[in-house]
Amino acid sequence: MCRSVDVRTAVLAKNDGLAAELRADLAERRVAAVNLLSSPGSGKTALLELVLRRARERGLAVAALTADLATENDARRLARSGAPVKQVLTGGLCHLEAAQVRALVDGWLPDATRLLFVENVGNLVCPASYDLGETLRVTLMSVTEGEDKPLKYPTAFGAAHLVVLTKTDIAGAVGFEDGVFSAAVERVNPGVEILRTSARDGQGVDTLLDRVLAVAGGAAPHAPLLAADHLRRHGHDHDPDAHHHDHGPDAHHHGHASPAPTA
Amino acid sequence: MHELSIAAAVVESAEGVAREHGADAVAGVTLRIGELAGVVPDALRFSFSLVAEGTALERAELVIEEVAARARCGGCDARFAVGSPPALWCPHCDTPAAELLTGRELELAEVRMAGSP
């Protein structure tokens, strides 16, 4: 004899719930969080260092978390910008989870912060499944990585609010075909904006900051078709006042049927 | 290898369901995994066998139902298979999809309790 229970819950419901609460709390504190996803070596840290520097020059209260399996090297590099920076050592874990961001938001994030950049572990597979309570999810790749990368990692590129191409200053030298890349992005994420950047000559740095400021100011980000189920179900309203409504602590439960015995 | 974290989440929730229903052991769980969930079923099976050891799911059978990715066209309203690599464009009228209908599932669908008195 065997009883079976039809549960129909998201496997990552716990992370999704924590992320939803974090998103609401950050909105209340008027902080917009940006989750940066890319492969190792795509130039996330170099670009972020420049973004933080520009933000400080523009008088914006920015902070950054940077996650790696080991070493504090990235935090040291980012701290040169003068912005508050915290290294998260994942101890071998291949992605960040909402609980780790929550711990740092509660224990460390300076009160005045308006923009929080979260540099995820360099990996285009695992971090794509974990909502961190971010306002904006940005997926980056460099011109050296192959134009078809968005097709190889469709979840990471397909769920992005914004796609950023890095190291454009060497695009010519490596024979990067922008049209092939753009078509691949458009195939998995129709309508998403692609921002071309270079940490070497500063291309796109101000525009990236402008995009972040726009969503921080309440503009709705692009709605990716491959966004995780719990995000698509609730829509993505980032008006701070609407947050309680859309992402309140209880809101993440709806859509998940309560456990009900079926046999 | 985030399949290990995912397997741990499956075991945690299934143990919770078992406790709620007064069962000491779980005979099996069914997961629904979408083609675009970013999870590799074989890696998940392997991780599950490791994580389940010493828990109420130690002898549980893991059933994985894979869910194909399908989308609805924003132009002609046709339903179509997204394919692999995915194309979120309608194969009939070449318009972007209005929504993804299935394919991102990462869901604990069913928990079967072991032999109750």
Residue extents of the structural domains in chain B? 3-69+102-113
d(CA A52, CA B91): 43
Nearest beta carbon to residue A225 from set B2, B10, B97:
B97
Q: What is the mean pLDDT of residues B65-81?
A: 96
Describe the crossing of helices A44-57 and A205-216 by its angle, rounded to 10 degrees: 70
Q: What is the pTM of this model?
A: 0.87
pLDDT tens digits for range A115-160: 999 999 999 988 999 999 999 999 999 999 999 999 999 999 999 9
A12-65 tens-digit pLDDT? 999 999 999 999 999 999 999 999 999 999 999 999 999 999 999 999 999 999
Class of domain A9-216: alpha beta
Confirm if A225 and B88 have CB atoms less than 8 A apart. yes
pLDDT of residue A248: 37
- Asked whether the beta carbons of residue A158 and residue B114 sit closer than 8 angstroms, the reply is no
The more confidently predicted of residues A256 and B8 is B8
Inspect the interface and report whether the beta carbons of B110 and A5 lie closer than 8 Å.
yes
Predicted ipTM? 0.88
The side-by-side arrangement of strands in the sheet containing B61-67 is A260-261, A4-10, B106-113, B26-34, B61-67
Give the pair of three-digit tokens for residue B91.
């194969």
Tell me the CATH class for B3-69+102-113.
alpha beta
User: Which residues of B are known binding-site members for Ni(2+)?
Assistant: 2
Q: Contact A9/B108, CB-based, under 8 Å?
A: yes
The backbone torsions φ and ψ at residue A261, rounded to the nearest 5 degrees and listed phi first, read: -60, 135
- Partnered with residue B28 across adjacent β-strands are B61, B112
Instruction: Flag if A95 and B5 touch (Cβ within 8 Å).
Output: yes
Residue B1: what pLDDT?
67
- B-chain residue closest to A121, CA distance: B2
Closest CA to A30 of A213, A245, A246: A213
Q: What is the mean pLDDT of chain B?
A: 93
Q: What chain A residue is nearest to B5 in terms of C-alpha separation?
A: A93
Best of B32, B59, B79, B107 to disrupt the A interface (most A CBs within 10 Å) is B107
A202 Rama sector, left if φ>0, alpha if ψ -120 to 50, beta otherwise: left
